[in-house]
């Protein structure tokens, strides 16, 4: 089972990667404030499933560790993008970072012996 440190590091890598790709596509300079915010969100959401459902036993994975929650996040992401019409702005990139970081937690947990619940 991946530790909280592994999840946090994965959240950092994921958030910095998504932010870096976004800035590169826009051909803009990096903002340390934006990068800091992105990194904090990456760490938080990569660790969130274990915060909501602490790893007190090997069967701790329930609703917040499920593929259903990830599907809901992705669905909300598309709904928000469709309504805002501003897909290439910083708040929208933060939503991508949140979703990708949360997904990074699930991917790490999926690779363990207990896997993930569907719902």
pLDDT tens digits for range 75-90: 988 887 777 666 668 8
Q: What average pLDDT does this structure show over 42-52? A: 92
The encoded tokens of residue 83 equal: 């309504």
Residue 70 within a domain: yes
Residue 118 within a domain: no
Q: Which residue has the tokens 């958030």?
A: 15
Residue 116 within a domain: no
The encoded tokens of residue 25 equal: 């596509």
Rounded CA-CA distance 10/15 in Å is: 8
| pTM, 2 dp | 0.83
Q: Is 44 exposed, middle or buried (0-12, 13-18, 19+ CB in 10 A)?
A: middle
**Domain residue limits at 29:** 4-110
Residue 40 within a domain: yes
* Nearest CA-CA partner of 108 in 5, 10, 22: 10
pLDDT at 14 (0 to 100): 98
Residue 119 within a domain: no
Provide the number of structural domains found in the chain. 1
Residue 115 within a domain: no
Residue 33 within a domain: yes
**118: DSSP letter:** -
pLDDT tens digits for range 13-30: 999 999 999 999 989 899
């Amino acid at each position: 089972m991946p530790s909280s440190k592994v999840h946090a590091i994965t959240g950092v890598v994921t958030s910095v990667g998504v932010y870096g790709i976004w800035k590169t596509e826009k051909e803009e300079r990096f903002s340390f404030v934006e990068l800091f915010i992105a990194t904090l969100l990456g760490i938080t959401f990569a660790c969130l499933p274990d915060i909501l459902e602490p790893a007190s036993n090997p069967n701790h994975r329930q609703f917040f560790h499920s593929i259903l929650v990830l599907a809901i996040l992705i669905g909300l992401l598309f709904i928000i993008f469709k309504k805002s019409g501003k897909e290439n702005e910083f708040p929208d990139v933060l939503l991508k970072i949140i979703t990708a970081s949360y997904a990074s937690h699930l991917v790490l947990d999926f690779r363990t012996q207990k896997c993930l619940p569907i719902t």
